[in-house]
């Protein structure tokens, strides 16, 4: 099965030409390699490993390609909170109206995002504050509470 891909290049090809020349490649080859890399990264967004999905999202954001926005929009609802956050960051880096609109339309609400984290107040409430316990180990308990607050429960 073959698919047709229409590529819309900017009117000013100078930045692309500069990058292609820096790599000692013809412009056409450079564009095709970039598209191949984007296609691979888009496929990586379907990988079962959340670290691979996160790395793909970060790379797409660094590339700043708007072609990835529809797929990145879907990644805003990824099961992994790190992938979701990386996706928001990537879309902000892309920065087009479409990318920023995708954040507001598809991102989980702040309440949904923070529901994976216990509140700091509830963690402090779990500390056992005996007179010697607090005096001797208060740094440990505060450190543990902060570590639990900053690391998502998965």
| Apex 143 CA angle, 142 and 146, nearest 5 | 85
Q: In this predicted structure, what is the pLDDT of residue 35? A: 81
Report the alpha-carbon distance of residue 51 to residue 28 in Å, rounded.
Answer: 32
In three-state form (DSSP H/G/I as H, E/B as E, the rest C), the secondary structure along 16-61 is: HHHHHHHCCCCHHHHHHHHHHHHHHHHHHCCCCCHHHHHHHHHHHH
Domain residue limits, the chain: 23-114, 120-150
Helices (H), the chain: 14-22, 27-44, 50-63, 69-75, 81-94, 97-106, 110-114, 120-125, 131-150
Tell me which of 12-16, 25-29, 98-102 is least confident: 12-16
Residues 66-95 have pLDDT tens digits of 888 888 999 999 999 999 999 999 999 998
Q: In this predicted structure, what is the pLDDT of residue 7? A: 66
> What burial letters (b/e) apply to 48-82, b meaning 16+ CB within 10 Å?
eebeebbbbbbbbbebebebbbebbbebbebebbe
Q: Is the pLDDT of residue 62 over 80?
A: yes
72 near 38, Cβ under 8 Å? no
Report the alpha-carbon distance of residue 74 to residue 94 in Å, rounded.
Answer: 15
pLDDT band at 36 (very low <50, low <70, confident <90, very high): confident
Residues 92-149 have pLDDT tens digits of 999 888 888 888 887 555 444 444 444 444 444 444 444 445 455 556 666 666 666 6
Mean pLDDT calculated for residue range 36-40:
86
* Assigned CATH topology for domain 23-114: 1.25.10
pLDDT band at 49 (very low <50, low <70, confident <90, very high): very high
């Amino acid at each position: 099965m073959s698919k047709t891909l229409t590529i819309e290049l900017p009117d000013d090809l100078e930045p692309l030409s500069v990058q292609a020349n820096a790599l000692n490649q013809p412009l056409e080859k450079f564009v095709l390699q970039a598209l191949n890399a984007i296609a691979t990264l888009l496929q990586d967004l379907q990988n079962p490993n959340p670290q691979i999905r996160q790395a793909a999202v970060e790379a797409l954001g660094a590339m700043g390609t708007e072609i990835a926005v529809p797929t990145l929009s879907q990644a805003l609802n990824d099961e992994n909170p790190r992938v979701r956050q990386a996706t928001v960051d990537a879309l902000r880096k892309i920065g087009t109206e479409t990318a920023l609109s995708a954040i507001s339309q598809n991102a989980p609400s702040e309440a949904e995002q923070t529901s994976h984290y216990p509140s700091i107040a509830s963690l402090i409430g779990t500390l056992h504050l005996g007179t010697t316990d607090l005096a001797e180990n208060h740094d440990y308990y505060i450190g543990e509470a902060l570590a639990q607050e900053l690391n998502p429960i998965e």
